[in-house]
Amino acid sequence: MSFVFHSFPYEKDFKGLRSWRGYRKYCKHKVAVSLGVCMCSSVQQNLSNALSGKPETVNSRSNVTSPKSDKAVWYFAYGSNLSPKVFGPRSSNIWRRFQYLEATKARLPGFRLVFNVRGIPLLEPCFANIREDPDGIVTGVLYKLSYSDWKRLTRSEGVDITGVYKERSVRVLKEDSGETLMAFTLVAEDSRFTFAEEVMPSSRYLRLVLDGMQHWKLNSVHRFLGLKQEKDIASHSVSSRPAFAVVNTLAGFLPADLVSFSSVAHWETGALRFLKVPSQPLEESCVENSQTFISEYSSSAKSQVKPVLLYLPGIDGTGLGILPQLDALRKHFDVHCLVWPSSKLYNWQQLVDKTLVLIEDIISKERSQGWSLEDSSKVWLVAESMGCCLALLLAEKRPELFEHITLVNPATSYSRSFFSSILSKLDTLPPLVYQVAPVAISPLLLDFGRRLSQPDKLLHAARSLPKLSEILPPETLGHRIRLIEKFSANVKEWRRLKTKVLIIASVNDLLIPSYAESERLLDIFPKSVRYISHYGGHGLLLERDIGLSQLILRSHEILSSSESSNTKYQNIYPGEKTLPVANVSHLGSTEESHDEDFKFPSLEDIHRAKQQLLLYNKIFSPVFIGTNRVPEQRGRPILFVGNHTLYGITDVPFFIEHFLSKRNILIRALAHPIFWNWQSRDRSSRLSRSLWDDSSRFLEVMERFGSVPATPRNLYRLLEKKQSVLLFPGGAREAFKRKDEAYSLHWPREAEFVRMAIRHDAWIVPFSCVGPEDNFQIILDGEELIQLPLVGRLMESLFSLSDMPKGDVVREWKGPLNKQDLVNFIQPLSIPRSPHRIYFYFSSPIDSRLYTSAMKNRSQVEEMYGNIRDQVENGIRYLLDKRKEDPFEVWWKRIVFESVTGVAAPTKWQWSLRDGYLDRL
């Protein structure tokens, strides 16, 4: 029943409201005004019907024997009217402050308690009500009131005025004597004033209901009240449970046992503790994911052992944030949720020590149940937001305890949040403002863009948000925010961490820069994989369809396979991203280079090269897919073979820079000899001045980073020295394409590079590149330019004067160039277009050692050559198709996102290792 604030009686005549007369004599027409709502009128007609003694069937709408006798009325109360703070001589409401004549516990059969009466949005979402239910029963109190007190009560409830509650005659049973008698009660039936489904009331209202039930020693099985046994009634914590207030938003989507677990177990008071989630029936737990690692545990008939998974909550500390994921998680794990009561203001050291004690206790209990040491020696962690800070501190102190750590939107990036200064002052807000503050910051917590398309989810979220202010009192919120601010990242220790780490980041997290932080953490942890969610806000686990259990299982499979040297996933690389001069030579050759005057780039050269590429990285935002397939060198050369894009100047620099930064490998690019012959250079003068005096000297920069003329001799020598080599078989013909030849291959007929790779036991890695050719619109191609009267003759003369070598790696390995070949070296005339993103795709590597017998078999070499070409063409088609799904393919969206976040925009590929994205998972 609704809680109405103090009302003030006014006297009314036909001219309108008169002045306030105080709480004096009642007039014939009187009105009570409360918060601008008129609550006047009488129930004279209803009482007259009761006095008339007209017959009525039990608990029906027909007339019954009057519940009024000797100027007294029997009233059956439920909801907040059970509380002595609301109803009775100690009531804070003057309209309900009276001495009842008699009171006894009673039951109302044929009805059930519901919370569906519309209240004040945000502050008091709903109030109590009863509905007809043949199998239901409502426990309450039967009050005997004087006629005047009954009239005051109906006014305070707005009977016949607001139209919310209506009086109704019902038959009730006294618990002490079993006597049946008629009584009045109040029921809200108008759909204008009720919700179709039950709504979680405020914690203030729930506390009043629970206070009344405790006062009268009543019991109820209503899910919002969570009272199942008599011992729960006497529990002191019953009256203080704001954490449970969020369960209603999820109750319609959770199994009944999880709703019961959440409603009973999540008290605000108590000690720091782990709560064990009810296990799923055995026959259901082993149905799914038999193909994953979990089958190692579940397929064994000995005990169906499941690994222990511990959930570390965010700043709320309740463990309720993972509720939508629990049903799927418990199929594969023995789940425990950490509850950090708001009354416990621990520092980091205390929190870590107490949590470790709890974890060791859980492990010891698992062992005591007869499980093997191997099964129970390590646990799995899932941490969210602030819980990620705790998880990393635990891993620093006791890394041997943890098999796998999942970090969801880690709060390690809090210091870089745009809203950190605002959030740190929330605890200083006035109480009323603090109560509605969660609504104000809700766009930072939830993905409202997605929920606008799902009104039911938006409604549930809006109802639960005000509860955050009750879950986190101001002093608790302030303390925990200060803890996050004091958190210090121990990057040195993180780099040595051997535990598998899954980083889950939401692109739409506006509260903290979770996606940008995931980029940083992915580079730090040596065994890590990242999953990017394109929906969901900071509270990502509240999105039921995120599928946390599947993400954990998949990430474990990826990271476990990466530990094997024979697997396709190779992501265990040196931790340092810079390339020390002294450490470069071991990456490629035991000697310095194939040419005597080549020296590896210095740290200054590398730094300047990266600085020059910064702008182009922001414009083109290159994406590398399938780099996990690229094998480690381990004393063997690697030959990268792919398609050359238009002009050939936007693919090579990104390619070399990526492997230099991510794998510490310097890839030697082969460029057509004509580019060296076109440069009239004085080597001595060039070496005497800084390489970076003129940033336009692209070829000189490439030469400084190991690029050499594309000749058979140079390729042979590089492979012989175990170098990593970048080869474009299409050469200048592909770089200077004709109109309507975008992404077409123009490879020579001969396959000499295949024989060279076989001879030196090289890995051959086919790759494809898409994007650069969409950045230009060709106006005149080489064939059209050479046909122009003056321009064509001038170009022919330039070629005849150039010192062009007779051997051309572009067209054939051997043979002179003719006039038609010269057309291939004429750059097309084009105009720029809007910048498209650049994509690199790496196909499965080919081990040339498997083709040693094909060295002298021309047909087998050609078959291998055709296989390489097919993989490159398939990769191009794959990229052209999949880039349509990239949410940041449009240039302005990509540039805006990267300008705000400072990191490369995400792609449609959601899984990534430190050196690139994984495809087709």
Answer for the pair 462, 448: CB distance below 8 angstroms, yes or no: no
- 275-282: average pLDDT: 74
Residue 644 clears pLDDT 70, i.e. is over it: yes
What pTM was computed for the model? 0.73
Tokens of 474: 């101001």
Is residue 40 pLDDT above 60, yes or no? no
For residues 41 and 151, give the distance between their C-alpha atoms in angstroms, rounded to a whole number. 9
Strand partners, 638: 724, 763
Element (H, E) at 184: strand 180-187
How distant, in Å, are the alpha carbons of 91, 101, 729 from that of 278?
Answer: 41, 47, 61
Query: Which residues are within 8 A (CB) of 245 and not within 5 positions of it... i.e. 6 or more apart?
Result: 200, 202, 203, 206, 464, 467, 470, 471
| Residues sharing a CB contact under 8 Å with residue 469, sequence separation 6 or more, in sequence order | 434, 435, 436, 437, 438
Q: Is the pLDDT of residue 499 over 90?
A: yes
CB of 749 closer than 8 Å to CB of 855 = no
Q: How many CB atoms lie within 10 A of CB 651?
A: 28
Reduced to 3 states, what is the DSSP secondary structure of residue 133? strand
| Average pLDDT of the segment spanning 172-177 | 90
DSSP one-letter code for 179 = -
Distance between CA 395 and CA 409 in Å, rounded? 17
**pLDDT of amino acid 837:** 94
By the 8 A CB rule, do 110 and 59 touch? yes
Check residues 593 and 756 and name the one with the higher pLDDT.
Answer: 756
More confident residue, 136 or 204: 136
The pLDDT value given to residue 242: 47
CATH class of 616-886: alpha beta
Strands 911-913 and 829-832: unpaired
Confidence of residue 15 (pLDDT cuts 50, 70, 90): very low
Whole-angstrom Cα distance, residue 903 to residue 899?
A: 8
What are the CB-based long-range contacts (under 8 Å, 24+) for 189-196? 190/163, 190/164, 192/163, 193/117, 193/118, 193/162, 193/163, 193/164, 194/116, 194/117, 194/118, 194/129, 195/116, 195/117, 195/118, 195/126, 196/116
Check pLDDT > 90 for residue 527: yes
Within 529-602, residue ranges assigned H as helices are 548-561, 585-588
Cβ burial of 740 (10 Å; 0-12, 13-18, 19+) is: exposed
Mean pLDDT of 129-137: 92
Choose from 494-498, 583-587, 708-712 the range with maximum mean pLDDT. Answer: 494-498
With contact defined as beta carbons under 8 Å apart, do 169 and 182 qualify? yes
Give the mean pLDDT of 136-152. Answer: 91
- The C-alpha atoms of residue 260 and residue 666 are separated, in whole angstroms, by 59
Rounded to an integer, the average pLDDT of 413-437 is: 86
Query: Residue 53 is encoded by which pair of tokens?
Result: 């003694």
The encoded tokens of residue 71 equal 């100027």
Best CA proximity match to 312, nearest among 394, 387, 389: 387
Q: Which pLDDT score, from 0 to 100, does residue 294 have? A: 37
Helices (H) and strands (E) in the chain, counts: 36, 29
Query: Are residues 580 and 604 in contact, defined by beta-carbon separation less than 8 angstroms?
Result: no
Tokens of 203: 């914690």
Q: What CATH homologous superfamily does 270-561 map to?
A: Alpha/Beta hydrolase fold, catalytic domain (3.40.50.1820)
The rounded percent of the chain whose pLDDT value lies above 90 is 37
Return d(Cα 504, Cα 511) in angstroms, integer: 15
| Residue at 164: amino acid letter | V
Higher pLDDT, 809 or 438: 438
> Where is average pLDDT lowest: 270-279, 543-552, 638-647, 773-782?
270-279
Distance of alpha carbon 687 from the chain centroid = 51
pLDDT of residue 268: 52
Where do the H-state alpha helices sit in 430-542?
A: 431-440, 442-445, 448-451, 455-464, 468-471, 474-486, 491-495, 514-524
User: With 50 as the cut, is the pLDDT of residue 538 above it?
Assistant: yes
Q: Could you count the other beta carbons within 10 Å of the beta carbon of residue 378?
A: 15
Confidence at 537, pLDDT banded by 50, 70, 90: confident
β-pairing, 623-625 vs 839-842, is: parallel
Among the ranges 88-92, 190-194, 366-370, 464-468, which has the highest mean pLDDT value? Answer: 190-194
In this predicted model, what pLDDT tens digit does every residue of 43-77 receive, in sequence order?
333 334 333 443 343 454 444 445 655 578 999 99
pLDDT at 916: 92
Pick the range with the lowest mean pLDDT from 473-477, 802-806, 820-824: 802-806
Q: What is the pLDDT of residues 344-377, one digit of tens each?
A: 889 999 999 999 999 999 988 877 766 554 545 6
Residue keyed to tokens 């080489």: 782
Judge whether residue 912 has pLDDT over 90. yes
Contact 195, 463 (CB under 8 A): no
Q: Is the pLDDT score of 28 beyond 60?
A: no
Task: Please say whether the beta carbons of 667 and 726 come within 8 A.
Answer: yes
Residue 257: per-residue pLDDT:
74
User: Mean pLDDT lowest for which of 174-188, 463-477, 589-603?
Assistant: 589-603
- What was the pLDDT predicted at 158? 81
The DSSP symbol for 277 reads P
Rounded (10°) angle between helices 348-368 and 386-397: 70
Task: Write down the pLDDT at residue 124.
Answer: 73
Phi, psi (deg, nearest 5) at residue 110: 85, 5
Note the pLDDT of residue 574: 33
Question: How far apart, in whole angstroms, are the C-alpha atoms of residue 827 and residue 799?
Answer: 13
Mean predicted lDDT score pLDDT of the chain: 77
The alpha carbon of 8 is separated from its chain's Cα centroid by a whole number of angstroms, namely 51
> With b meaning 16 or more CB within 10 Å and e meaning fewer, what string describes 663-688?
bbbbbbbbbbbbbbeeeeeeeeeeee
User: Which of these, 490, 256, 502, lies nearest to 383 by C-alpha position?
Assistant: 502
Q: 34 forms bridges with which residues in the sheet?
A: 37
Say if strands 724-727 and 667-671 run parallel, antiparallel, or are unpaired.
parallel
Residues 740-761 have a mean pLDDT of 90
CA 197 to chain CA centroid, Å, is: 29
701 contacts 669 by C-beta, under 8 angstroms:
no
CA–CA separation, 243 and 246 (whole Å)? 7
Can you give the pLDDT at residue 286? Answer: 41
Residue type, 916: G
pLDDT at residue 62, as a whole number: 40
Checking if the pLDDT of 131 tops 90, the result is yes
Question: Is the pLDDT score of 531 beyond 90?
Answer: yes
Q: Give CATH superfamily name and number for 8-237.
A: Gamma-glutamyl cyclotransferase-like (3.10.490.10)
For β-strands 16-20 and 30-34, DSSP reports them as unpaired
| pLDDT level of residue 584 (50, 70, 90 thresholds) | very low
Can you tell me the mean pLDDT for 367-391?
Answer: 79
**Do residues 404 and 502 make contact, with C-beta atoms less than 8 angstroms apart?**
yes
Give the tens place of pLDDT for each residue, 317-346: 887 778 889 999 999 999 999 988 888 889
Give, to the nearest 10 degrees, the angle between helix 858-882 and helix 752-759: 100
Alpha-carbon distance of 269 to 341, in angstroms, equals 6
Q: Tokens for 390, please give them.
A: 């705790």
What SS3 state is found at 204?
helix
Residue (of 641, 515, 520, 522) closest to 571 by Cα position: 522
What are the pLDDT digits (tens) for 849-908? 988 887 778 888 999 999 999 999 999 999 999 999 998 998 999 999 998 888 999 999
- Could you write out the three-class secondary structure of 799-810? HHHCCCCCCCCC
- Domain boundaries along the sequence of the chain: 8-237, 270-561, 616-886
pLDDT recorded at residue 453: 61
Reported as half-sphere exposure (CB side, CA atoms, 13 A), residue 129 has a value of 28
> Are the CB atoms for 340 and 255 separated by under 8 Å?
no
**Residue of 499 and 677 predicted with greater confidence:** 499
* 287: three-class secondary structure by DSSP: coil
Question: Tens digits of per-residue pLDDT, 81-120?
Answer: 999 988 888 887 777 888 889 999 999 999 999 999 988 6
Rg of the chain, C-alpha, whole Å: 38
* The total number of residues written for the chain in this structure: 921
State the Cα torsion 197-198-199-201 to the nearest 10°: 160
